Chains A and B, each alone.
Chain A
């Protein structure tokens, strides 16, 4: 048996809240062995990030404190260690990478400065050796053009590159333990796959133990040797990764795994009679000017959406997939008239081009949108009942007791009790808030709902419930959905048709099964191959490497080449 690097015994953490101390971590124990990857998995509020912060001695003071237990790194007891001693341990022996690489890096320092600072702080090398060491570290994390990257600032790097730099900094002093707190959650799937590969490779070469914190069971399946599932600060189940996935013992683990959407397992979509066309989009383009220079003239344009055409019929769900920056959300905003656009958009046969706010108003009743962040899209200073009622007031559709009845009906419709109407958004959980948002979108009885990453911010079990609710609404009312998402497994569950976008243009479109089972465009294949599979016994298909994706920014006077779609089979079109 290999030696134990990190031992956590009976660790308990309390947070001071206005209503008294609350235990957020209750008697957690585990051992991390050399070279092993341990995953702490759980939904939000399970205490997994608290564990990481407690080990790092970074619990926010004075609200949080360790009430019980011990954390031993080798022979060193970390609980109660004074700050000065802790500083010598952090990064040198236990390093951490965070979810959001942009906010973890100092925006005013170059990559080289940040790496050098870490190296010198811990006396890993002399000042003269530092640049060479920094360069070597960037090579280790397989950053392209490492010499150039050293001189760059964080904002000049992409999200994946930044996370590589963070990993380089974390590994600068060759720590025994690397704590990775949701390291790939903010990244696109293809980048996530690359970063996970990198962590694995580095672990193999350096023998580092990894404590990985994640909510994504796909990531767990790919990375973990051993898994601990947490809930409300308590360990629910602890087992080797294969056992967790094949024979989960606890109810909660079964539920959690059952709720995880798995690509390739969704039942076929029921055949539906073709409904009337709700939305017809033809040659839609959205461009943003980039101004600069002395006279503030247009120097370049961001071609966020470029010549996209599609249609949605009643009762149908069209999914728009692609990586961040591909223009999928911009399409949603353009359809709602939130950004200026060119082309043709017809809602229920009415052309909306050139419509002013007054003319748009009746059109808005037919198209509504549900945003990604359920909390941010509600006004924190207004009761949820008032917010659901507001669209009806804006459009003058109901008032007085009729309004109240209607709102109560909407609350029941989305599975909330009408008693909750007088509450404010902060009194709800994320899933409930998204239900309120859905109720608000439904209040005008729209024909089409644009769901922009509407379930991405939710825990998997809640996500499943919200998806179910959306499906129910569609079945009852024959609503059409434009479902914008980056998550292929979720898309598989809800979509009738799928459109894959890259750099503002459609590269492949067709029926769900055609796209997912028989992808023809290289980019679609790359996207699908990068999706983590929540099954440790299954090897992920070989990752397809492609050249970097390019940029949608073009200098004035130049435009991207329009991709031509070719129909290869019935309704399955691929860019050539």
Chain B
């Protein structure tokens, strides 16, 4: 509990802090844009069946030209059709589900795992740190894609498994960055003071180290969104990711990339969606970093 707001109950103070952060995010034009994009995507993912203009699985005859080529955007099909005559707009909307779940879930697990390993190894050091970091090095040396394929082949492909597999591959970089930063933070005076005061490990880790690591975690975490979405696409392309005919932004690109010259819209729209998703998280992450840093208060 904080002495600076003892009048408020613990639960309430958390809620009010969260709403303060939300208001601050919406006040900045850039992060507000990011928030809106993320909210739209979440909405699209949840209500996909309701807002899809057409059936995303139907390989309709009208969806192909007379020579059997996909239709460009415009006309009956808003964003055109794919090689099998399926409506691209509908597939993108439904694909939001997969991509968002993968992007957020896989990345979230990777962040938790990577930051957890990094902080633990950096703070405790000694043999704990040595074992954890050598294991991290081992994971780093292992070809990521190969590992993902092996893992995906062992387990039945499903959305959750794909997310777990991607997290297993992606946590390593985060662990490295956080480890190095924790090492230098742990030597700083204000951490030494805590030790001298007799503070427990949990207090030092949670109240003093974590807030200082937050900016790195946010920056690295938001960067991970786009790599995660693309890794899912690679896995799907290799047949160990999301199973067809279920669409995801990544596998739409991979299915159609060979036709880039004749039907560029098939690659452009899902690509743009991925960029937009990554950008939105980046903007929100950057703003969040500044909002949570008290030394920057009132500088915007």
Residues of A participating in the B interface, judged by any CB pair closer than 8 Å: 18, 336-338, 357, 360-361, 364-365, 368-369, 371, 373, 376-383, 385-386, 388-391, 393-395, 399-401, 403-404, 407, 421-422, 424, 426, 437, 440, 444
Asked if residues B6 and A400 are in contact (CB atoms below 8 Å), the reply is: yes
Instruction: Assess whether A424 is in contact with B294, with CB atoms less than 8 Å apart.
Output: yes
Distance (Å) between the CB of B116 and the closest chain A CB?
Answer: 20
User: In the complex, which residues of chain B have a beta carbon less than 8 angstroms from the beta carbon of A399?
Assistant: 1
Q: How many B residues face the partner with a CB closer than 8 A? A: 29
B3 touches A421 (CB 8 A): yes
Q: Is the CB of B192 within 8 A of A394?
A: no
Shortest CB–CB separation between residue B104 and chain A, in angstroms? Answer: 26
List chain B residues, Cβ under 8 A from A403. Answer: 1, 3, 6
Interface residues of B in 168-218 (CB under 8 A from A): 188-190, 192-200, 203, 207-208, 211-212
Say whether B262 faces chain A, with CB atoms less than 8 Å apart. Answer: no
| B interface residues with partner A (beta carbon < 8 Å) | 1-4, 6, 188-190, 192-200, 203, 207-208, 211-212, 292-295, 297-299
Q: A383-B294, A404-B3 are in contact. List 16 more A-B contacts (CB 8 A).
A: A360-B198, A364-B196, A376-B188, A377-B192, A377-B193, A380-B212, A381-B293, A390-B194, A390-B197, A390-B207, A391-B197, A391-B198, A394-B197, A421-B3, A424-B297, A440-B193
Partner pick for B196 among A369, A385, A386, A395, CB 8 A cutoff = A369
Smallest CB-CB separation from B201: which chain A residue? A357
* CB-contact partner of A382 in B188, B199, B200, B208, under 8 A: B208
For residue A336, which residues in chain B have a CB less than 8 angstroms away from its CB?
Answer: 195-196
A442 to nearest B CB, angstroms? 12
Residue ID in chain A nearest B214 by CB atoms: A381
Do residues A394 and B200 form an inter-chain contact, with CB atoms below 8 A? yes
Decide: A385 and B208 in contact? CB cutoff 8 A. no
Cα distance A357–B200 in the bound complex, in angstroms = 9
Is there contact, CB below 8 Å, between A376 and B189? Answer: yes
Which B-chain residue is minimally distant from A335 (CB atoms)? Answer: B196
Q: Across the two chains, which residue of chain A brings its CB closest to B197?
A: A391
CB–CB A424/B6 < 8 A: no
Cβ–Cβ contact B211 & A338, under 8 A: no
CA distance A56 to B189 in the complex (A): 34
- CB pair A422–B4 under 8 Å, yes or no, is yes
B208 touches A383 (CB 8 A): no
Given contacts A360-B198, A394-B197, contact A381 B3 (CB under 8 A): no
* A337, A357, A377, A437 pick with most chain B CB within 10 angstroms: A377
**Chain B hits for A440, CB < 8 A:** 193, 197
CB neighbours of A360 from chain B (8 A):
198
Identify 7 residue pairs between A and B in the complex whose beta-carbon atoms are under 8 Å apart, listed by A's number: A373-B189, A377-B192, A379-B207, A380-B294, A395-B198, A400-B1, A422-B4
In the bound complex, CA of A482 to CA of B273 (Å): 64
Decide if B196 touches A382 in the complex (CB within 8 Å).
no
- The complex places the Cα of A365 from the Cα of B4 at a distance, in Å, of 23
**Residue pair B211, A381 in contact (C-beta under 8 Å):** yes
Closest to A395 in B: B198
Whether the pair B2, A386 counts as a contact (CB closer than 8 A) is yes
* Closest-CB distance, B203 to chain A (whole angstroms): 7
Give, as a whole number of angstroms, the nearest-CB distance from A140 to chain B.
39
CB distance from B14 to the nearest CB of A (A): 15
B189 interface neighbour in A361, A377, A383, Cβ under 8 Å? A377
Would you call B190 and A385 a contact (CB within 8 A)? no
CB distance B195 to A378 under 8 Å? Answer: no
Nearest residue, chain A, Cβ from B199:
A394
**Bound CA–CA A535/B208 (angstroms):** 46
Q: How far is the CA of A444 from the CA of B299 in the complex (A)?
A: 36
- Which chain B residue lies CB-closest to A379? B190
Which of B1, B3, B197, B299 counts the most A-chain CB atoms under 10 A from its CB? Answer: B3
A395 to B2, CA, bound (A): 16
Contacts of B295 in A (CB 8 A): 380, 424, 426
Q: Which residues of chain B are near A357, meaning CB under 8 Å? A: 198
Q: By the criterion CB–CB under 8 Å, are A421 and B4 in contact?
A: yes
Contact residues in B for A373 (Cβ distance below 8 Å): 189
Q: How many angstroms between the C-alpha atoms of A18 and B212 in the bound complex?
A: 23
Chain A nearest CB from B267 CB (Å) reads 42
Whether A377 pairs with B198 at a CB distance below 8 angstroms is: no
Residue of A nearest to B196 (CB): A336
Determine the residue in chain A with the shortest Cβ distance to B193: A377
CB distance from A22 to the nearest CB of B (A): 14
B152 to chain A, nearest CB (A): 40
How far does the alpha carbon of A546 sit from the alpha carbon of B196 in the complex, in Å?
Answer: 38
Count chain A CB atoms within 10 A of each CB in B1, B4, B192, B298 and give the residue with the most: B4
A338 lies within 8 A of B1 (CB): no
Contact of A379 among B4, B208, B299 (CB under 8 A): B208
A394 with B198: CB separation less than 8 A: yes
A382-B3 CB under 8 A given contacts A424-B295, A426-B294: no
B188: chain A residues at CB < 8 Å are 376
Min C-beta distance of A355 to chain B, whole Å? 11
B4 and A383 form a contact (CB under 8 A)? yes
The listed residue with most A CB atoms (<10 A of its CB), out of B190, B211, B295, is B190
B28, chain A: closest CB distance, angstroms: 15
Shortest beta-carbon contacts, A-B, top 5: A377-B189, A381-B211, A376-B189, A424-B294, A364-B198
Q: Are B3 and A389 in contact (CB under 8 A)?
A: yes
Distance in Å from the Cβ of B53 to the closest Cβ of chain A?
48
CA distance A426 to B299 in the complex (A): 13
A395 CB to closest chain B CB (Å) equals 7
- Give the distance to chain B from A106, nearest Cβ to Cβ, in Å: 23
Closest to B297 in A: A424
Q: Are A338 and B4 in contact (CB under 8 A)?
A: no
Q: Kindly list chain A residues whose C-beta atoms are within 8 Å of the C-beta of B211.
A: 379, 381-382
Q: Contact between B189 and A407 (Cβ–Cβ < 8 Å)? A: no
Say whether, besides A377-B189, A426-B294, A386 and B197 are in contact (CB < 8 Å).
no
Q: Which residues of A lie under 8 Å from residue B298 when comparing CB positions? A: 18
Distance (Å) between the CB of A340 and the closest chain B CB? Answer: 13
Does A369 lie within 8 Å of B193, measured CB to CB?
yes
- The residues of B that contact A437 with a CB separation of less than 8 Å are 193
Which residues of chain B have C-beta atoms less than 8 A from A381's C-beta?
208, 211-212, 292-294
A371 & B193 in contact (Cβ 8 Å cutoff): yes
Query: Nearest CB to that of A362 among chain B residues?
Result: B198
Contacts of A380 in B (CB 8 A): 190, 212, 294-295
